[in-house]
Structure 1
């Protein structure tokens, strides 16, 4: 068994020492035996990162960690943990604690964190556990920047969430949340907020105060509208909305009606560039021909008048837009290959009014 390895830290110039016992099927007894042996032949006090992920460690005694005086990163994910040492953050100067995919309940957490007001923890991952409500003890972690609580059974967020003023990332996807407190809008430094896969029907207007927000994931909820002021978030580059009633509503409202004979004739005249004298057609027809709009598909030279295809595309994780995009097309055949980033350029022979492609405002 490899006792420990060293690798280079991305943020520090000095060499970070790591003890990697991940994916070895270790029980706590086996772990104790190995650490006792290592303590005799090496300096565990120099170890900065301990990886114990994917083992069989259901509990972790305090004395197991007392050997590490300089421990900054501890990964205990996927172990079936049910309890933690009550003084975990007092034993080690941890900055990153990963506890995801275990069996931790709300009763497991306060004993570990409540007295850790002055610790330097920056990242805490409690995703994939058995939490039923927001762990109040976390609010004592004043220096926390990254908080992951996804894939639990949390039904509400503490109104005192505003106390985590250092928070950059808050992840609460995959829970049972039905509402978000207004105080979330007081997290001035928040850059990413994940609320997907919940039961949320309304977002508080205070979301618009998160001026540093770059990513807002809201897919798989029950949202029927968004706060109008959300469009003022200038730094927002990722807004995921799929599988919400507001998106379904846009899709259901799209209707397709066959064009009239008048429109079909007018399309042929414009697309074929038929030349006629003013006195050969009534003025009403000339006025009608001048209302032609360009198809939004840059590969199509077609036009439409009163009748058009209303097409909405939704881009979630891969594209530039994260909101529904309404496109006006001359035919359903133009749906394939539409380039949403290219706005149509009206030809000199057409009097197209307005822009044929616009973002749908969700207010």
Structure 2
């Protein structure tokens, strides 16, 4: 009885509105009578419910923004293919394991996608056809590969923190082919590039890959990463030395050992360059 009253109140409140807020109402499904007016909806907030199925979602043909975060979704619905005007999609904090192919090519206007805190182990190859996407959050998943993201021409903000990534695709950071301005990848077992490089942001990652391309593949076996501390009194030239080393490119451990006033941390990390 209580659920019927809630559904009736929802129907009376939202029937003639373009923005529907159904958040936190413990819904397991959307009231069928409400769906008769679904073609009018532009924004739908369904976060903090108990939804598991979305087979009704294809009725929302004029939808621009959809929030499905913090539900009980396991499947990424194929019905999303009908949402051709969708611009913003929130699906974080669900239990989604797989995203099927042939969904994202139909979402040509999608600009914002939040899929953090799910159970994704793989991305669909055709995600690269989501040409308007500028914001993508994939943090807190199980991803080992993000190669599918290299051909997103308008991507500016990318979050892949706390996944299982060991390598990043160089193509994702190529100058001239990438518009990335913000990239976060902390909490991954990264080797290429090292986490220290990623912490420096997009420019440092671009410089890293550019240097690796210049040096060639053999660099992997001949270079080291060394953490250094510059000691000396004020105006002793520490900043000048540091700047000179950074601008000069890779430097060997042997050269560092011959330099005075440099303390070298004994915990070396195997890597590709001096940074």
Q: Same fold (TM over 0.5)?
A: yes
More helix by share: 2
1:189 aligns with 2:154: yes
Match of 1:214 among 168, 181, 184: 181
Report the CA distance shift for 1:157/1:37 in structure 2 as closer, same or farther (over 3 A): closer
Report the CA distance shift for 1:127/1:38 in structure 2 as closer, same or farther (over 3 A): closer
Match of residue 88 from structure 1:
57
User: CA RMSD, aligned part only?
Assistant: 3.5
Secondary structure in structure 1 of the residue aligned to 2:40: coil
Match of 2:260 among 267, 291, 306: 306
1:21-69 per-position Cα deviation (integer Å, ceiling 9, x unaligned):
xxxxxx7533321134448xxxx32x12111112211222443232354
Match of 2:8 among 16, 30, 33: 33
Report the CA distance shift for 1:128/1:254 in structure 2 as closer, same or farther (over 3 A): same
**Conservation of the 8 A alpha-carbon contact between 2:105 and 2:129:** yes
Secondary structure in structure 2 of the residue aligned to 1:74: strand
Match of residue 105 from structure 1:
74
Q: Give me the whole-angstrom Cα distance separating, in 2, the residues matched to 1:95 and 1:198.
A: 29
Q: Give me the whole-angstrom Cα distance separating, in 1, the residues matched to 2:123 and 2:227.
A: 37
**Conservation of the 8 A alpha-carbon contact between 1:96 and 1:122:** yes
Report the CA distance shift for 1:206/1:161 in structure 2 as closer, same or farther (over 3 A): same
Gaps of 5+ in 1: 1-26, 240-248, 260-266, 272-291, 298-304, 312-359
Question: Under a length normalisation based on structure 1, what TM-score does the superposition of the two structures give?
Answer: 0.54
Match of residue 120 from structure 1:
85
1:169 aligns with 2:125: no
**Conservation of the 8 A alpha-carbon contact between 1:215 and 1:238:** no
**Conservation of the 8 A alpha-carbon contact between 1:184 and 1:206:** no
Q: Give me the whole-angstrom Cα distance separating, in 1, the residues matched to 2:28 and 2:92.
A: 17
Report the CA distance shift for 1:164/1:92 in structure 2 as closer, same or farther (over 3 A): closer
Q: Give me the whole-angstrom Cα distance separating, in 1, the residues matched to 2:274 and 2:22.
A: 48
Q: How does 1:290-329 map to 2 (within 5 A)?
A: 293-296=236-239, 306-309=260-263
Secondary structure in structure 2 of the residue aligned to 1:147: strand
Match of residue 107 from structure 2:
141
Question: Under a length normalisation based on structure 2, what TM-score does the superposition of the two structures give?
Answer: 0.69
Q: Give me the whole-angstrom Cα distance separating, in 1, the residues matched to 2:114 and 2:13.
A: 33
Higher relative contact order (CA 8 A, sep 6+): 2
What is the CA-CA distance between 1:92 and the residue it aligns to?
4.8
1:70 aligns with 2:40: yes
1:224 aligns with 2:191: yes
Match of residue 249 from structure 2:
none
Q: Give me the whole-angstrom Cα distance separating, in 1, the residues matched to 2:183 and 2:46.
A: 28
**Which structure has the bigger radius of gyration?**
1
**Conservation of the 8 A alpha-carbon contact between 1:28 and 1:58:** no
Match of residue 251 from structure 2:
none
Report the CA distance shift for 1:176/1:102 in structure 2 as closer, same or farther (over 3 A): same
Report the CA distance shift for 1:155/1:221 in structure 2 as closer, same or farther (over 3 A): same
Gaps of 5+ in 2: 206-223, 241-258, 266-272
Match of 1:51 among 10, 16, 21: 21
